[in-house]
Amino acid sequence: MPTTIMARGSQLLPVAVVAVAIAVGAFTSTSGQAQGNAAQRRDQATLRTLHVQGNVHLVVGAGANVVVQLGNLGSVLVDTGTAQNAERVLASVRELTPRPVRYIINTHSHADHVGGNERIGASGIPLSGRGVAQVGAGNSAPRAEIIAHEETLNRMSAPSGSAAPFPVTAWPTATFSGSHKEFFYNGEGVQLVHVSSAHTDGDTLVFFRRSDVIATGDLYSTVSYPVIDAQRGGHINGVLDGLNQLLALVIAGEKTEGGTMLVPGHGRVSDEADLVEYRDMVTIIRDRIQDMVKRGLTLAQVKAANPTMDYDGLYGSAPGWTKDQFVEAVYNNLKPPPPASRE
Amino acid sequence: MKLRNALGFVVLLVAFAAPASAQSFLSGDWANFYHEDQPERGPGPALGDYLGIPINAAGRQYADSWDASRLTLPEHQCRAHVSPYIYRGPIRVRITEDIDPGTQSVIAIRHFLSTYAQERIIWLDGREHPPEEAPHTWMGFSTGEWIGRTLKVRTTHIKQGWHRRNGLPMSDKTTMTEYFFRHGNILSQLSIVEDPIFLEEPLVKTTNLMLDVGGPNQYQAWLFCQADDEVPGRDPAYVPHYLPGQNPYLTEFAAQHGLPVEPTRGGAATMYPEYMQKVKTMPIAPAPRRQAP
């Protein structure tokens, strides 16, 4: 009977509601979990990005900072991070723009800055026929053009018959040997400034002039003392010359902040005031060690005097470059050369 | 002041805070008055006076190296004070509110600070602080919440500045927690500054401001600072500083005030009342030798 059915139905109603609720809950839970997993996968596949200013963005967490200039013509990357992070860098750039990578600019030759050259370069398309030249170098397809100072190419390659530290497909394809190189791209001038014998001998600052952003490479860092790669031509006085050269390019904005923005090789986005603190710190420590060298202190005595103590909390705990390594590098740069032997 | 004492102080202030008489709770023009630390606010602190600041050894070495001539460098001339310091200078503060036109809720409170024409925004809309790699500013990034009638503010992303403008450094790792509370026409700010690089303990300060109704406009909306060549011909790469052990001014403050040198070197211990007993046992700094005119 209907009544009975209704009665039975009314008795069953709470059960049905609970069942539906459980089912819906299970679905939404599963759905939420799936969404969470998707988000997690997406997070693992990409890196965090930050808009710096104008056309310029930063990809964070690739081993070194990767700078991306966006525009209708396709993107320019300054450095490519480590080889292990190349796919994630590429995925992050693709989230920023569907357009291809046209140029890669390397600030210097270290693996945390050029490691992604091969993979990311292969994903790119040169703007002109210039990239086709690489086909003749053993590649089957055009690639993004890789620009760097000639010394960077020298450090990444090797003479015929010797083993090069990087595969040929990661090497710069367009080099410059002077103090500057410039081109106009995506509506702004792109100025490459060579800083000699600083972090390495191939350091290049990349200035996006309309965006007013400079990618500094490892000449400047907010998280470590300057890394002086003496084996690749680095020197403390070159670092200071480079920092002062960089300072001359930078114009602070209104109320002495903002204006020209800097993306260091490692660490956070900065402006002139941050750079000034760093330049002051490097100058002061150089002067202290210089004075100790003049007074004839040994390296052990210089280290014992702790000339970096006031700055160690800020810069002394970077992985791979301790304060002792920094002091030793500066000491070795400044100590008088051994007397020439007489035959 | 130890942090727990400071927080206890906040609880008491919140409990006994009198209701505000003005229609808008914090909005208005607030003028500083200089009954606290006048030398700090007017002429500036003496060189070598680190008394009462909980600096650590790193902060002390930094300050001992600091040469006031560094302020003559073009790139230093136009620098502003940072938010943990700026309220202790000569200052007027204009506080306004940003209102959401749809909900009429307060999105943000703005402080326009007469010194260096700085504008500080305290966001009340629940937004997150920027990521680690974002730029730092003189004022930093601030978010606030109301605890009863007390505004609690948390600030991160502050540029490197100073805890005292005689070279005592404040790092860019500093964070600040503030409590703003109003008693009639007096606005009090309690700031708890935590600097893991240069401080041994949090630096706790209170600053009072007085409501200034109907006065002439004493603000300008812009700051134009053009650095000049104060020392012509100097090498642009030169950075004035003292090598370790060579700063001749570090005992001057102690000698002028008949104090032992040790307490003027600062540190957390110098903040506490019981330190006075220790000071009484210390030798007084010798008077500085003055050259005959």
Give the ipTM of the model, two decimals please. Answer: 0.90
pLDDT at B79: 93
Mean of pLDDT values over B261-270: 97
Q: In A, which residues are within 8 Å of B135 by CB distance?
A: 258, 261, 268-271
- CA A69/CA A186 separation, integer angstroms: 8
Rg (CA), chain A: 27
Q: How many CB pairs under 8 A join A and B?
A: 100
Residue of A nearest to B174 (CA): A314
Q: What is the mean pLDDT of residues B139-152?
A: 96
* Cβ-defined contact of B160 to A277 (cutoff 8 Å): yes
For chain B, state the CA radius of gyration: 21
Q: Which residues of B touch A261 (CB under 8 A)?
A: 135
Give the tens place of pLDDT for each residue, A165-196: 999 999 999 999 999 999 999 999 999 999 99
DSSP-derived secondary structure for A161-230: TSPPSS-GGGS-SEEE-SSEEEEEETTEEEEEEEE-SSSSSSEEEEEETTTTEEEEEEEEESSSSPP--G
Q: Are B173 and A309 a contacting pair at CB < 8 A?
A: no
A30 to chain B, closest Cα gap in Å: 28
CB nearest B133 (choices: A269, A279, A311): A269
Q: How many CB atoms lie within 10 A of CB B82?
A: 25
- Which chain A residues are Cβ-neighbours of B225 within 8 angstroms? 256
Q: Which residues on chain A are in Cβ contact (under 8 Å) with B136?
A: 268, 270, 274
Lowest average pLDDT, out of A194-203, A227-236, B32-41, B271-280, goes to B32-41
pLDDT at A86: 97
Contact B135 A271 (CB under 8 A): yes
A252 Cβ under 8 Å from any chain B Cβ:
yes
Minimal Cβ distance to A50: which of B118, B131, B241: B131
CA atoms within a 13 Å half-sphere pointing along the CA-CB vector of B288: 14
Average pLDDT over residues A283-294: 98
Min Cα separation B185/chain A (Å): 31
Contacts of A105 (CB under 8 A, 6+ apart): A76, A77, A78, A79, A146, A147, A148, A190, A192, A204, A206, A215
> Which among A273, A274, A283 has CB closest to B239?
A283
What confidence category does residue A14 fall into, taking pLDDT thresholds of 50, 70 and 90? very low
pLDDT of amino acid A242: 98
What is the model's pLDDT at position A44?
A: 74
The answer, for B68 touching chain A at a CB cutoff of 8 Å, is no
pLDDT at B36: 78
**Higher per-residue confidence, B11 vs B26:** B26
The reported pTM is 0.88
User: Beta strand B175-183 with B168-170: parallel, antiparallel or unpaired?
Assistant: unpaired
pLDDT of A39 reads 61
Whether residue A309 lies within 8 A of chain B, CB to CB, comes out as: yes
Q: Any idea which of A61-65, A181-185, B205-209 has the lowest mean pLDDT?
A: B205-209
Q: What does the alpha-carbon distance between residue A342 and residue B60 come to, in Å, rounded to a whole number?
A: 49
Decide if pLDDT at A205 tops 50. yes
Reply yes or no on domain B3-18+29-47+81-211 having CATH 1.10.600.
no
Q: What is the pLDDT of residue B39?
A: 79
B70 at the A interface (CB within 8 A)? yes
When pLDDT is averaged across residues B129-142 and rounded to a whole number, the result is: 98
Return the minimum-mean-pLDDT range out of A59-63, A193-197, A206-210, B38-42.
Answer: B38-42
Local confidence band at B88 (pLDDT 50, 70, 90 cut-offs):
confident
DSSP assignment of B57-108? HHHHHHHHHB-GGGGGSHHHHTPPPPHHHHTTSS-EEEEEEEE-TTT--EEE
In the predicted model, what is the mean pLDDT of residues B132-151?
96
Mean pLDDT of A328-332: 98
> How far away is chain A from the Cα of B263, in angstroms, using its nearest Cα?
20
Residue B89, pLDDT score: 75
The residues spanned by each domain of chain A are 48-284
Give the best-scoring range by mean pLDDT among A137-141, A164-168, B112-116: A164-168
Which residue among B133, B138, B171 sits closest to A268, beta carbon to beta carbon? B133
Q: Does any CB of chain B come closer than 8 Å to the CB of residue A44?
A: no
Q: In which residue are the tokens 């000449």 written? A: A219
Confidence of residue A137 (pLDDT cuts 50, 70, 90): low
**pLDDT tens digit sequence for B17-68:** 444 333 358 999 999 887 778 877 888 899 999 999 999 999 999 999 999 9
- Calculate how close chain A gets to B87, using CA atoms only, in Å: 17
Specify the higher pLDDT residue, B222 or A104. A104
A141-156 confidence digits (pLDDT tens): 789 999 999 999 999 9
Residue B223 has pLDDT above 80, yes or no: no
Split at pLDDT 50, 70, 90, the class of B207 is: very high
| The pLDDT value given to residue A2 | 34
Residue range A48-284 forms a domain whose CATH class is alpha beta
